[in-house]
Chain A
Amino acid sequence: MSDTERQKLPEGQTLIHLAVTSENERHDLLIGDMAGEHFDDVADFAGEVPKQPTLSRADAIVLVLDGEQCSGAARWNVVARVEMLLKSLRDSHLVEASKLQLLITKWDVVAAAGDEAIEAATDAQRQIGQLIGSMGGSPVTFKTAARGSNPLVPPGYGIPELLRSWLKPRPRRIELPHPEPALKPSDMFR
């Protein structure tokens, strides 16, 4: 059970703007922090993906797995839910699998729990990675720890690698305006 305050269901889409520099170059990141309820809807109902335009417009979609849950007895629930989410994304044909990333949080807790927990989390990661692979993606997995509960895993562990992955330039899909039709509907009645 997470001790982080539960995120409220937003009315609209909330984006966090971060301006960062890397090698003296400015990068503007827009991070969509979607409530889990939206992802539940995407996983459970066909036709939900188009209602979340951020998913089709994002340069990277990070599937965030709770490391504590992934490494415990409940890991099959996590895996099955993510699988269902991925199947919805796949069936929508709106999201490219190459944009998908995998993030396992609370790695400090997982590492402290021992080899069995690490093995379980890795197994969950492998299962989800296989499904993304079958969709044509090749996900990079990140392991992060926001807190310093484990002396061997410092606070912020894995965050720089994750951030750097978002700074890589990606080709943008440019939507061109629709060309003017040769015959307008109203012309048909002239």
Chain B
Amino acid sequence: MQRILLAGLPGAGKTSYLAALWDSLNSEGNRSLTLVEQPANRRYLEEARARLQRLEPPIRNTRTLTSIDLKLATSDASRVDVEVPDVAGDFYQDFWETREWSVQFAEVVASISAVMLFLHSSKVATPISLDDIGELATAAGARSNIEVNSAEVPWEPKLAPDQVKLVDVLQMIESQRGLPGQLRLALVISAWDRVHGMSPDQWLIRSAPLIAQYLQNSAFWSPTATFGISAQGGDFEHDKERLVSVRPSQRVRVAQGASTGTDITIPLNWLIGRNGR
């Protein structure tokens, strides 16, 4: 049994990924992983899939821990049982703000074999250096005596950038598990349809350098891989007419390195160690 934790802040794309994965596992097509047996309880997955089909926002899981059991087979017909704890994004927010987590989550951390970390491509504030700000201001014709009229906003933990929160959660997992153990980590950049002209690795270095550098230098999170995934296939507001008539499994786009495909099981396949290191 492989236990793969889906981690990410609220709205990062975890449930949309699960919904698109579920539809793919139940649709025709050549994929790295196939479903060999239906889970006993499919209602959560079916509801998530139906919402994805209807172009509705995913089910908002407020502080819940839903566990999905998938009995899968790899392309070489090896059977793999995968349990996917889908922990609500609010919990990860809480972990950062309160610096503590529940005994139940500690048990999950103790038993996981890999982590799939979700980062929404549009919700990460791309860092801009002071030099860049200066250049931009000059280009825009700004004068040196800029007047600032905005009111002061007192800092509180929830205002920290997503990158900071996620690196902290990863460090907390590492701290609980401890070395010399290692865990595989797949970093999923969701809403990949909104990113153009770069690979997921390039996006990570440019837009989330803290996470990129942390993972690059971590002995614990090894090996790691970065994927760009569009589980929805586009923007629900602007692309509605095109998307609504296409089945979720056929809307999916998965990017890794320079290649793009439609097999949403690739990150899962990589995490269970069937695709080399």
**Does B38 contact A74, Cβ atoms closer than 8 Å?**
no
**Does A43 contact B53, Cβ atoms closer than 8 Å?**
no
Q: Which of A80-102 contact B (CB under 8 A)?
A: 80-81, 83-84, 87-88, 91
B26 within 8 A of A: yes
Which residues of the partner chain A approach B40 to less than 8 Å between Cβ atoms?
A: 45-47
Which residues of the partner chain A approach B53 to less than 8 Å between Cβ atoms?
A: 74, 76-77, 80
**Does B43 contact A45, Cβ atoms closer than 8 Å?**
yes
Contact mask for chain B residues 44-76; partner A; CB cutoff 8 A; 1 contact, 0 none: 001001100110000000000000000000000
Which residues of the partner chain B approach A75 to less than 8 Å between Cβ atoms?
A: 245
A115 within 8 A of B: no
Out of B26, B41, B244, name the residue touching A84 (CB < 8 Å).
B26
**Does A91 contact B50, Cβ atoms closer than 8 Å?**
no
- Give B47's nearest chain A residue, CB to CB: A44
Nearest chain B CB to A92 CB, angstrom units: 11
- Give B243's nearest chain A residue, CB to CB: A73
**Does B41 contact A45, Cβ atoms closer than 8 Å?**
yes
Out of A45, A46, A80, A91, name the residue touching B247 (CB < 8 Å).
A80
**Does A80 contact B244, Cβ atoms closer than 8 Å?**
no
Which residues of the partner chain A approach B38 to less than 8 Å between Cβ atoms?
A: 46, 87-88, 91
Which residues of the partner chain A approach B42 to less than 8 Å between Cβ atoms?
A: 43-45, 84
Q: Which of B60-107 contact A (CB under 8 A)?
A: none
Q: Which of A112-150 contact B (CB under 8 A)?
A: none
The docked-state distance in angstroms from the alpha carbon of A79 to that of B27 is 11
Which residues of the partner chain A approach B263 to less than 8 Å between Cβ atoms?
A: none
Which residues of the partner chain B approach A76 to less than 8 Å between Cβ atoms?
A: 53, 245-248
The docked-state distance in angstroms from the alpha carbon of A47 to that of B42 is 12
Contact mask for chain A residues 30-53; partner B; CB cutoff 8 A; 1 contact, 0 none: 000000000000011111000000
The docked-state distance in angstroms from the alpha carbon of A46 to that of B245 is 29
B201 within 8 A of A: no
Nearest chain B CB to A142 CB, angstrom units: 25
B23 within 8 A of A: yes
**Does B244 contact A44, Cβ atoms closer than 8 Å?**
no
Which residues of the partner chain B approach A44 to less than 8 Å between Cβ atoms?
A: 41-43, 46
**Does A84 contact B46, Cβ atoms closer than 8 Å?**
yes
Q: Which residue, B38, B49, B245, has most C-beta atoms of chain A within 10 A?
A: B38
Which residues of the partner chain B approach A84 to less than 8 Å between Cβ atoms?
A: 26, 42, 46
Which residues of the partner chain B approach A88 to less than 8 Å between Cβ atoms?
A: 38
The docked-state distance in angstroms from the alpha carbon of A73 to that of B37 is 29
Nearest chain B CB to A72 CB, angstrom units: 9
Out of A45, A83, A91, name the residue touching B26 (CB < 8 Å).
A83
Q: Which of B225-255 contact A (CB under 8 A)?
A: 244-248
The docked-state distance in angstroms from the alpha carbon of A46 to that of B53 is 23
**Does B23 contact A80, Cβ atoms closer than 8 Å?**
yes
The docked-state distance in angstroms from the alpha carbon of A24 to that of B245 is 49
**Does B41 contact A73, Cβ atoms closer than 8 Å?**
no
Out of B26, B37, B43, name the residue touching A80 (CB < 8 Å).
B26
Given contact pairs A73-B244, A73-B245, A74-B54, A80 touches B49 in the complex (Cβ within 8 A): yes
Which residues of the partner chain B approach A80 to less than 8 Å between Cβ atoms?
A: 23, 26, 46, 49-50, 53, 247
Nearest chain B CB to A89 CB, angstrom units: 11
Nearest chain A CB to B230 CB, angstrom units: 17
- Give B240's nearest chain A residue, CB to CB: A73
Q: Which of A150-190 contact B (CB under 8 A)?
A: none
The docked-state distance in angstroms from the alpha carbon of A89 to that of B169 is 43
Q: Which of A57-86 contact B (CB under 8 A)?
A: 73-77, 79-81, 83-84
The docked-state distance in angstroms from the alpha carbon of A88 to that of B26 is 13
- Give A90's nearest chain B residue, CB to CB: B38
The docked-state distance in angstroms from the alpha carbon of A91 to that of B247 is 24
* A and B contact pairs by CB, cutoff 8 A, 7 listed: A44-B46, A46-B41, A47-B40, A74-B54, A77-B53, A80-B26, A84-B46
Binding site for A on B (CB under 8 A): 23, 26, 37-43, 46, 49-50, 53-54, 244-248
Which 4 residue pairs are nearest across A and B when measured between Cβ atoms? A44-B43, A73-B244, A76-B247, A46-B40
